[in-house]
Structure 1
C-alpha cells in the first residue's frame, strides 16, 4: 500500500485488489475497502464504497484505539436506494501509512437477517428479534415475520410497559429469564432475551402464548427449554460459522505459503545454477545469501559463509574495498557496477560486480544484493590490447621524430648550398631557406 500510494504502480494496485477480493469472497462480506481517516476510499472491491457518518466515527475510534471496531446497523443512501450496513473497521499495521483502515462490509440481507429468521424448531409463531434502545423508543433492527419493510424503521415507545422488547432494552428483564408480555403486534407472548456482547443490541426469542397453551401444560417447560435451546443453537451456529471461515482463511494462507515456498525453491535453483557469484548482505555487511558459485570462488560452502562478512573471507585490503563499494551503493540508493580484483581459491580474479540496494515493505534500504561475473580473461585481453596500443604509439612517435630530423637536415643542406650560390638539392624539403 505505501508503494502504490507513493508510485501509483498499477501492478501493486492489482495485487492489493486480488487480496481484498479473496478476503471478501472467503469471509462472505459484501464489500472490502481501504479508506483513510477522512473517508476517502483508496481501493475497494464488491458493492459500493460510500463512507457515511457512522463509518467515519467508527474509523476514528479504530485508529485511536488500535483495535477492530464495528458500527451499529445504519441506513445509507446510494443512487437513490436505501441500504442497511454493518461495517467492521480494522486499523492497518505500523508499516502502513498513518490513518488508513480496512473496512469489511457485511451484507445484512445475505447473512444477518436470514440467520435470525432461521428458527430451529417447527412453530407457527416463534420468532427471533434483534432490538436496541433508541432514545425513548425501542428500535427493531431486523426484518419481522409478520410485517414487511420494518428493519431499522419500526420504533415503538418505551412507555408501553407491557411491550416485551421495551422491557428488555430498559433493563426490566434479566438475561435468559422467561417473561410474559406483548410483542410488537400486541399479542401475548412468552420470550427471553440475551444481550449481544460489545453492542447495545438484544437478541429476543419469543413464541405466542396461544401456541403454548394449545399444548398440554406438561409441554410448557419443554417449550421454554426449546426457546433457550434456540438461542444456544444460534450461538453455536455462529461459532461454527466463524470456525468454518477461519478454516477457509487458513487454507488460503496455506496455499499462499506453498506458493511462496515454490517461489523460494525456484529462486534457489536459479541462483545455485548460475556460474556468477550471487549474494545478499544486510546493513552490517553480513551475508544473507551466498550461492554455490560464490562459495566455490572462496573455497567454502554457502552455509559457512552465511552470517559472516567480507573481513572473514577476503584479505584486509580487498575486504575494505568491497565494504567501501557496499556503503556507496546504500548511501546513494542506486545500482552501481564496479570492477573488483580479488584473491580467490582459483587465484587472482577480476570480477565485474553489479550491486544494488534491497528494500523492506516500507521502502527503507535494509541491505544490498550483488552479482559478480569473472571477467579475468576479458580484462587480460584488454590489458594486452592497451600494451600493444602503447607500443604502437611509442613507435609512431619515434618514426615521426626521425622524419622530422631528416627534414631538418635537408633544410640545412639546402641552406648551405644556397650560401655557395648553388641550387637546392632537396626541392621537396619544407621550411624557409636562408639565402644570405
Structure 2
C-alpha cells in the first residue's frame, strides 16, 4: 500500500512539473517570436532610411567623383552614427561594383559576394534587401540589411550593409530565462539540403557565447527537425532528442520571413531533478500515512491537517518564486514592461518602467498614470487600454508623453490578460523608447523636402531663361526683316540659328 501511494505521488508530481515546464517554454517562445518579428521590422525600417538619405548619397559622390576627403570623413561618421542609433553590430560600404570600400569595425567576412548574388547587375538606387550569408561562425554576422543609396546619373548605386549578429536578436529577457534552473539552451538555425545548421547559445544569461550547431535531417524525432519540417507549430512544445541525443523539452518559432528558426530547450532530466525534493517529501508523506492508519483515525486526521498546511506553504513558496522570477526577467529588459487592472492601476512594473516615470517600482503599484503624465496624455493612454480590453487582442500604439526625463515617444504593444474562464481581468504592455529613431526619421524627411524645393526652383529658373532667349532671337529677326525691306544690311547674324531651325524642321 505504501509503495503504491509512493508511486502514484511520484507520477503525479513528475507529470505536473513536466506540464509546467512545457507551458513555461511555450510562453518564452511566443514572447521571443513576437520580439524577433518587431526587432527585424525595426532594423529593416531603420536601414531603409539610408535609401532616402540624399545627404549620404551626395557625400559619397563628392568623395568618389570629386575626391573630397572631408566628404568621405563626414560620410563615414554619419554611417557609423546611423548604425549605432539603429542598433546594428557593424556597417560596411560597397561601391557601385559592390566591392568593399569601408567598414566601421573589422570584418571577419566580406559581404560583397552575397550582395552580388542578390544584385548581379548592380543595385538599383533606393532598393533594399536582406542578405543571408553563406558563412556561419560564432563571431560572424548572421545577416545584413543592404540599402542602395539614392544616387543619380547611374544605373548602379553604392550599397550600405548594416550587419546583425545572432546575439543581437536574442532579448535580455530571454537570457534571464536561460540562466534559470534548470538552464535553457537557445538555438538559432536555418535549413539546408544537408540538414540544419546554426548557432547555439550554451551560456547562461551573462557571457552570450555562441557555438556552431548542426543536425542532420535523419533525426526526424528531434524538435528542431520537426519545427523546420512544419510538423511542430511555432509556439508549441515537444519532447525529443537534441543534437547530442539527450531528451529535451523544446519550443520555438520562425525568425521573421527569412526562413530561419529559433529553439529554446531544457533537458528533461534537469526538469525532473528539480522535483526530487518533492518526491522525497512524497515518500515521507506515504510513510507517515501508513503509520497514521496503524495508529488510529484520530492521529490520521491530525496528520492530514499537518500535510495540508505543508502543501499550502509549498504552494505559497512556489508562487513567491514564480513572481520573483517574473520580476527578474522583466527587470532584465531595457523596455518598460508592466501589467494593469481594468481601471488602469499598475499591478506589476519593471525597473525600466519605474525609471521612465521617475519613481521606485513599489511606488507605482496600485496607482494609475494620472500625476505621471498630463491629463490629455493620460486620457489617450486610457483609451488605448480600454480598446485592448474591449477588442481582446494584442495591439500596438505610438504614444508620446511628458515624463521627468522630458517628452518621450514610445512604441507600446499591449494585450489582454485573461483568467481561466477566458474573461479579461487586466492587460500587459511592453513599451519601447523610439524617441531618437523618430527624430532621425523627421530630420531625413525635412532634408528630402528641402532638396525637392530647390529642384523645383531651379526648373522654374531654367524655364524663364529659355523663354527670354527665344524672345530676343525673334526680336532680332524682326529688325533684320525691317532693315532688309529698307535696302540696308542686316545688323544681326542669325545664320547659324536659322540653319539649326531648318535642320530641325
Normalising by structure 2, we get a TM-score of 0.42
Higher helix proportion (structure 1 or 2): 2
Higher strand proportion (structure 1 or 2): 1
Which protein is bigger by CA-based radius of gyration? 1
Normalising by structure 1, we get a TM-score of 0.47
